[in-house]
Structure 1
């Protein structure tokens, strides 16, 4: 390349230096706005454009086809320049081999993001990033187009690439905003639906093209590009639900959650259902079954379907597998209009290592910790978010708020909280780095979780945040001002493990494991708990819930019915994974729909009807939910009958109304079993999991029992009951 002097006029250079042009050609220029676009030259304005493979470029007026100037070729093919006598709005008319393009010059626009946006982003407290960063469809100065913004502070150059510029990183290099490390550009005339990525030149060379961390939509996997989408503009029709939501999700309200993997609940000859089809079929089923909420396994875009969504890369985009963001909003609106809440599983703990993702984003550990002892999860082959970095902290905070505010989601269930809380989680000695005090707690993640819960309470009133947390970390659902983490609820993993281990024992051995069913009541009121029988318990060789049960076919179903009845009458909100309600035999597979054909068999249909009736009883009996987190809402009557594997307790409502629960976990009918009760008169049997309509043997108490004037179990009167085999019954006093 020649080192000839640039052409000049009135002492100002029309052509940039050869070094500048060489940097543009090599796509290494870190400040393209200093070279390209309009530049005053004293008496007029010089305009430069670099358009590789363009044949001819003219400047034409903004509001007409008047030619203002024809551009000359500069030092290299594709580099064009011209001069206008006075500054005025212009467009570029570009002649390509394939045809003509007319557009405004991207390099004619000034700085785009406001200083407050950049300040809040750097501070980690920009709560509307989904409407600011990424690809934003907008007009600037009356010109329609798309504004792009991406954080890559250690990059030497960042370009937007897509089919609109032949995926050529030389065409749209971006402007760096110092000191924020944010790159920006406005590309006129781009429209929603175009796919794009970022081409990033790191300190040590060109990186794989990256998807947009703040994309609002993506192309369908296995494609990995981001997609330009308008901000959601859904006309919500759920005002009544939103006004009642806080009360419906309060600790003294009934909450029964149906956990769903959207891709395998049902399918159409192997084809995934869309959100529209799920709205037509899933919502009526959930309503008929009596669940109050649907919890969706992660629907944020994720490259590998076999991760079930727990390795997402697009924290602001619903998966294209099921439709558009608008389709997803329609689904949630339909749920709310059916009085069904929607909880999303959300993953702020880690992200996958796919080359188009967040890892090593600008050639450095940007979103993740740099040291593998902090930044790499050995169990899951994933990177760990560095939540101590303010920009990452704010990125994840904005993601949570995006789902809660933009889509009216009613709650987030935060995945893998235990892995966030502890630096030595699943690591051997010498494989982790202590915190600044020498301890094992991840102080940055703890600060993030507290901030998250405080912000959600403020910015999304009535929404829940639920922790999947399996350790004894204190006050997970305690208020942050008292030193807690501030979650609305915590999954009770201890209860789940203990009771599943008990129910898998042969009844003849259960007397030796009696404490597994009672131990949970020692700590049942230390947190606000959800009792989870989730997808994790029916995969990876753990067997389906029904198949865990011991005995012959009849006993397996009886055990299943008794276990679910025990769960529904135990303190704590309820969560059941899809398929468990009708006793699917095989383990869940994300590649196949549930075995709905089993409902043609009476015992499977009986299990489903029982779950429906458990939900109805649960919502009808305040004693089963009003005092879930109060010791006074639960009273043991019999917790030590190991020999008979019998348990009995009272649930108390806020108004002092009792409900008696009797559980017999042996296949032996126990007649004349006396149990003390607090109120004289008749007691009605409102639940019997052994009823014939559920597939049971129909042993029971004729629907009603009269209390006898005989004190027992510390109560003034008592009932003489028949306990059906492998069953739970519930009785309440008949109101006079």
Structure 2
């Protein structure tokens, strides 16, 4: 169909053409695609660098019309019949491309989606924003969408358009501030980013997709179109029975793991194991060791390996370091098949300043605060999410749900909660902004955490929400309707600090610090607590757990054995960082493997056996579980023997049908005929002794011990024990 060039450009001013060809046009759909002009239907295509563009019949491939080059920068146009099943054939200097025109498709996102995004209540963002492989009008491709309300122009760029921001500028869906486009014939695996021109006309560094579900492995930074095909799960039985484990009444022993350094392949360049290899090695190991859960340091995509994942930028994408999203799903599936829960560390407290990330995403402080007194952590050189903004809150909640719902993860451990709760966290006077009442509490963060936990417990009632909160903020594990933050468990940082400080003392001086081991019981039931011996205690010059113990080599091991047993006998869920179970001699290095070779030495192998046995007795004894969260399950039997550095605890099941006496002697001096008051007469049996020969101890054991009617310390019976040096024993009453 012959038509004049002027008609092909009818209704388009020179300014609009210049803006389009220079990559500054904010509404490309007003120029490109199909437009009606009088009796003509005009198609305009902008393909910089193309030699020619033809419009062809989709079915036959026959040329319907050749497009005219109406602007030398690469703007082509043609007049066509009003209704044609056609597509484009683009001749490049070195290739022929056949595709549908992205600008022939109408708006993609529904008004409800846009409303919920703006409201901050769209909790399925990864199915709406980001890159979604799908069909539109029967044509397969990828829909891209990104929130950038202050941008003048946004384009999706990738290998498919030579990373040229002029090629695929997107449609703005105001007032939600979301930009969208459908690129036909793209498939999962494509790399992409967003090119953004800010409100001042500055073209920003290309940005990774905030809602990408897959990313290139660092140091590369592109997002990757993830598959929309659902993963084939085999964990139905696990999910159907998870509610019983959510009760928190049973044993919970967590093995904390940094994926990149649990085990490395020294024969293959010291590389980290991937998810498939970890499914074959880590999963059976943790199961055989008797742990109930594996907790992973953050595996959301992060740029800097030295942050261990605690400075993430891809809150919806498993890091590409260890495989694909499907590989990670397989790992979770294998954990569930082995009876192991999976907990992920998740970081809503801050994000790094990398220019290709969230920082000033559309040229404005979009995700962060404008004022650095509210929005910058000098300690970590990171930015703080603006939790007063609905879209940001919705973004974070959607991220949390992504891991729980898409990947079947059993819980999230929320990092650095204290830094969120206090506006003056690690800040000097004048470096922070008070809240509207003049106080230091971050009211927006408080409301966000309450809302986060409410939504998660509504949508994922079986999921665990765990807080790393290092202060005495009240009600961390109280429900929001009762004024609490709504977490299920809180890390007991006070217990960790006090007990490690005590254990690092020379036994000669421990009598002067006796209260460090008893003080924790004053507040032990003010929250639901987990006892964490985490990665934070074995880095930055703190040394390994073994290195913290005083004395010669034998005493170091004995101290650590006694401490582990004390911890497993003390109320609270348990967490141990990898390497601790084998008494790794040196502190953790994130780019090296756990030093598994020390298991060739009997003392290290014995420590591993001890932890395995502690998990075993914890898992089978109700008396060691019930009192974790209920004060009716715990009593001090000996609390004031500072002179001998002896502690004794009684643990009970809910029906109090029996009890277990946990006794620790934290001096290298054996205590013979040490009498303790107990609730029942009869034969008590020693179930565990950290000084047993199989653990590398001296072998001072008790066996069966009679408890007589001789009352002591207000209890109707008592028994006499031999307390081994630097040891903890568990003695079980008759039923």
Calculate the TM-score normalised by the size of structure 2.
0.98
Answer whether contact 1:44 1:87 (CA < 8 A) is retained: no
Q: State how far apart, in whole Å, the 2-side matches of 1:499 and 1:420 are.
A: 26
Shift, 1:367, TM fit: 0.4
Shift, 1:250, TM fit: 2.0
Aligned to 2:416: 416
Task: Give CA deviations for 1:362-420 in whole Å, capped at 9, x if unaligned.
Answer: 00000001100011111000000111110000000000000000000000000000000
Aligned to 1:607: 607
Q: Which runs of 5+ in 1 are unaligned?
A: 1-5
Aligned to 1:640: 640
Q: State how far apart, in whole Å, the 2-side matches of 1:246 and 1:28 are.
A: 54
Q: State how far apart, in whole Å, the 2-side matches of 1:129 and 1:192 are.
A: 18
Q: State how far apart, in whole Å, the 2-side matches of 1:61 and 1:601 are.
A: 75
Q: State how far apart, in whole Å, the 2-side matches of 1:386 and 1:455 are.
A: 19
Answer whether contact 1:264 1:594 (CA < 8 A) is retained: yes
From 109, 118, 122, give the equivalent of 1:122.
Answer: 118
Task: Give CA deviations for 1:107-153 in whole Å, capped at 9, x if unaligned.
Answer: 00000001111111111111111111100000101111100000111
Answer whether contact 2:134 2:228 (CA < 8 A) is retained: no
Q: Which runs of 5+ in 2 are unaligned?
A: none
Following superposition, which runs of at least 4 residues in structure 1 exceed 3 angstroms of deviation?
6-9, 12-15
Task: Give CA deviations for 1:579-609 in whole Å, capped at 9, x if unaligned.
Answer: 0011001010011001101011111111110
Aligned to 2:350: 350
1:311-330 equivalence runs, <5 A: 311-330=311-330
Task: Give CA deviations for 1:489-527 in whole Å, capped at 9, x if unaligned.
Answer: 000000000000000000000000000000000000000
From 17, 28, 46, give the equivalent of 1:21.
Answer: 17
Answer whether contact 2:369 2:375 (CA < 8 A) is retained: yes
Q: State how far apart, in whole Å, the 2-side matches of 1:382 and 1:469 are.
A: 19
Aligned to 1:241: 238
Q: State how far apart, in whole Å, the 1-side matches of 2:121 and 2:478 are.
A: 23
Secondary structure, counterpart of 2:260 in structure 1: coil
Aligned to 1:689: 690
Task: Give CA deviations for 1:30-49 in whole Å, capped at 9, x if unaligned.
Answer: 00000000001232311111
Shift, 1:218, TM fit: 0.7
Q: State how far apart, in whole Å, the 2-side matches of 1:175 and 1:683 are.
A: 76
Answer whether contact 1:256 1:574 (CA < 8 A) is retained: yes
Aligned to 1:341: 341
Answer whether contact 1:18 1:75 (CA < 8 A) is retained: no
Aligned to 1:136: 132
Secondary structure, counterpart of 1:219 in structure 2: coil
Answer whether contact 2:192 2:222 (CA < 8 A) is retained: yes
Answer whether contact 1:14 1:83 (CA < 8 A) is retained: no
Shift, 1:13, TM fit: 5.0
Q: State how far apart, in whole Å, the 1-side matches of 2:283 and 2:9 are.
A: 67
Q: State how far apart, in whole Å, the 1-side matches of 2:392 and 2:119 are.
A: 10
Shift, 1:630, TM fit: 1.7
Q: State how far apart, in whole Å, the 2-side matches of 1:406 and 1:251 are.
A: 23
Q: State how far apart, in whole Å, the 1-side matches of 2:199 and 2:119 are.
A: 25
Aligned to 1:64: 60
Q: State how far apart, in whole Å, the 2-side matches of 1:217 and 1:99 are.
A: 29
Q: State how far apart, in whole Å, the 1-side matches of 2:83 and 2:433 are.
A: 59
Shift, 1:63, TM fit: 2.3
Shift, 1:709, TM fit: 2.0
Aligned to 1:436: 436
Q: State how far apart, in whole Å, the 2-side matches of 1:61 and 1:445 are.
A: 56
Secondary structure, counterpart of 1:639 in structure 2: strand
Q: State how far apart, in whole Å, the 1-side matches of 2:389 and 2:562 are.
A: 49
Answer whether contact 2:21 2:73 (CA < 8 A) is retained: no
Shift, 1:438, TM fit: 1.3
Q: State how far apart, in whole Å, the 2-side matches of 1:85 and 1:476 are.
A: 66
1:432-471 equivalence runs, <5 A: 432-471=432-471
Aligned to 1:229: 226
Q: State how far apart, in whole Å, the 2-side matches of 1:627 and 1:694 are.
A: 27
Q: Does 1:258 align with 2:255?
A: yes
> 437-446 or 396-405, which moves further after superposition?
437-446
Answer whether contact 1:251 1:528 (CA < 8 A) is retained: no
Pairs aligned (count) = 728
Aligned to 1:3: none
Answer whether contact 1:145 1:189 (CA < 8 A) is retained: yes
Aligned to 2:700: 699
Q: State how far apart, in whole Å, the 2-side matches of 1:696 and 1:130 are.
A: 54
Q: Does 1:191 align with 2:192?
A: no
Secondary structure, counterpart of 1:345 in structure 2: strand
Secondary structure, counterpart of 2:278 in structure 1: helix
Answer whether contact 1:92 1:102 (CA < 8 A) is retained: yes
